[in-house]
Structure 1
Amino acid sequence: MHANDNTPTLVSLNDAARMTSLSRTMVNRYRAEGRFPSAIPLGDRRIAFIKSEVTGWIQARIDAVRTERAAA
């Protein structure tokens, strides 16, 4: 990807699970509950996630823990 290319990077379900340290099952459960970024359908049996949304989700979890610790 070029520095001025704004095309989102897609990551697979396996990659999203690795990035978050969650199992595929938990990623799918969180998706079903609306607690994880939406998947982008790529084909009949293939989905992907926008990498920046997954990293944003991770950062939000980190921020929530830090806020809770600071309030304690």
Structure 2
Amino acid sequence: MRLIKLSEVKHVTGLGRSTIYNFMKEGKFPQSVSLGGRAVAWVESEVTEWILKKIAERDSQTPQSS
């Protein structure tokens, strides 16, 4: 299991800091893990799973061509 910092989460998702925290507040993004003090990180596999879910949602809405 690997923890990733905000800079990497922003890089892999393409989201900004405010959007990430707003999505977390709304229950639409994985919660961060407190590392002590003000340091937080995310479980990499949870972020990856969120990305894959977004791709699956997109693909399920795309009309299939014959």
Give the TM-score taking structure 2 as reference length: 0.90
**Counterpart of 1:26?**
19
- Unaligned runs of at least 5 residues, structure 2: none
**Counterpart of 1:67?**
60
Code of the aligned partner of 1:34: G
3-state DSSP of counterpart to 1:37: coil
- Tell me the C-alpha RMSD between the 2 structures: 1.1
Aligned residues: 64
Give the TM-score taking structure 1 as reference length: 0.83
Q: Does 1:48 align with 2:47?
A: no
Q: Distance in 2 between matches of 1:66 and 1:36?
A: 19
Q: Which of residues 14, 32, 38 is equivalent to 1:39?
A: 32
Superposed displacement of residue 13, structure 1? 1.2
Q: Give runs of ≥4 in structure 1 deviating > 3 Å.
A: none
- Unaligned runs of at least 5 residues, structure 1: 1-7
Superposed displacement of residue 44, structure 1? 1.5
Q: Distance in 1 between matches of 2:3 and 2:31?
A: 12
Code of the aligned partner of 2:22: R
